[in-house]
Amino acid sequence: MHYPASALMLGTPGELMAADLFPASNVIMAPELYSYEGNWLSCSFPQQDIHAARLGFGRGKFDWADYGLAQPVSPDALFYRIEVLTPEGLYACMVADEKKGAAVESDAGRMDVRLRQDGHTWFRLAGWPEMEWHFESPDAALKADLAVLPRHMGLWPDMVMPRNTFALCLASCVVKGDVLLNGQRVAVNGFGFYDHPRIVVQPNSAPPFGWYLFAPLRFEDGTLIVSYYCEDGQGRKDAVYSAGVLVNPDATSAWLPHSQVRRLQADDANLPAGWEAELGADGISISYKVEVKKPRLAQGWGSAAGEYPAFPLLMQAEGECRSSSGARPLRGGSGIAEFVLRAGYQPQYP
């Protein structure tokens, strides 16, 4: 599939490359040029004590009317999150503040972005393509210190909404380091997906946004699959944005221009409880079924200290990957999905 060029990032959407060949300007923060930028990491760890983690931040403004919300559009907004999933449940820190984004510091010529508050560093990301991630809760009881090595890097097609233009680059990563939970330090070693969204708030001639489902998965044999599925507010699939990436156990990779969700079931909170997915490219066909588990909140910080407003969707998946070399089962898939639905919209799920 031929994609239009991104309005906000360099490169060709749908092409995968080594991270050291990817334009560094696509990930270096440039607040004078863009309304919003973020750095997010979703990890899966094949170990018993910590199953998964999701962390990152976004700084700047987004016109929330595209999501059906009347929240203020602040250029100094900060959204900051640490989530760690253990057998005991979810440890989560969430901060949403309309002014703290002004305190985020970044270097114009290299990847180095940080926030210091109350005498200590809440987060810092440094280095490219090898990155060091440090994130901690305001009281430092929850911390993550991770070495993140991007491998297969790609540019997603832009998502154009009536009030926002949204660009995204994404990479599969090796992730290792340690997590501190209330004084107990736990070593972690696994895989993840890093993504850098970039937004410009501007009017566009585009249909209303409906919903999207982001599903990063790791399977027992080392296969990594990440996908988006998106529909507009008129119930039509966004065939450009609905795509995926496959990373095989032998480290070969492929862009998957076809992504389809089927039989999506929603729970009482209108969040996905399970679905089936089909992804493919020439000579590649992937299918899997997902069941979603909702963990209990073991401990929360910030706005996660009460009723947690955005529980991670912990996926368990099984399926099959078929190619010219034959078929192989996909077993023991896990990851944390992200689901966004425009407020007030009632879709007919596929």
What share of the chain has pLDDT > 70, as a percent? 98
Cα distance between the two ends of the chain: 23
Residue 308, pLDDT > 80, answer: no
Q: What pLDDT is attached to residue 306?
A: 55
Rg of the Cα atoms in the chain: 19
Residue 168, pLDDT > 60, answer: yes
pTM for the full predicted model: 0.95
Q: Which residues contact 6 (CB under 8 A, 6 or more apart)?
A: 13, 155, 157, 158, 167
1 band by pLDDT with thresholds 50, 70 and 90: confident
Q: What is the mean pLDDT of residues 309-326?
A: 88
Q: What pLDDT is attached to residue 325?
A: 87
Q: What is the mean pLDDT of residues 300-327?
A: 82
Q: How many whole angstroms separate alpha carbon 237 and alpha carbon 157?
A: 14
Question: Given CA atoms 231, 236, 239, 245 in this order, what sign does their dihedral have?
Answer: positive
Per residue in 253-305, pLDDT (tens digit) is 999 999 999 999 999 888 999 999 999 999 999 999 999 998 888 999 887 65
User: Which residue segments constitute the domains of the chain, with CATH numbers given?
Assistant: 16-341 (2.40.370.10)
Structure-token match 């931040």, residue found:
57
Q: What pLDDT is attached to residue 312?
A: 84
225 band by pLDDT with thresholds 50, 70 and 90: very high
Choice among 21-25, 39-43, 95-99, 272-276 with the minimum mean pLDDT: 95-99
Per residue in 237-253, pLDDT (tens digit) is 999 999 999 999 999 99
Structure-token match 């979603």, residue found:
292
Residue 119, pLDDT > 90, answer: no
Q: Under a CB-based contact definition with an 8 Å cutoff, are residues 246 and 184 in contact?
A: no
Q: Under a CB-based contact definition with an 8 Å cutoff, are residues 272 and 261 in contact?
A: no
Q: What pLDDT is attached to residue 314?
A: 93
Three-state secondary structure call for residue 247: strand
Amino acid identity of 190?
Answer: G
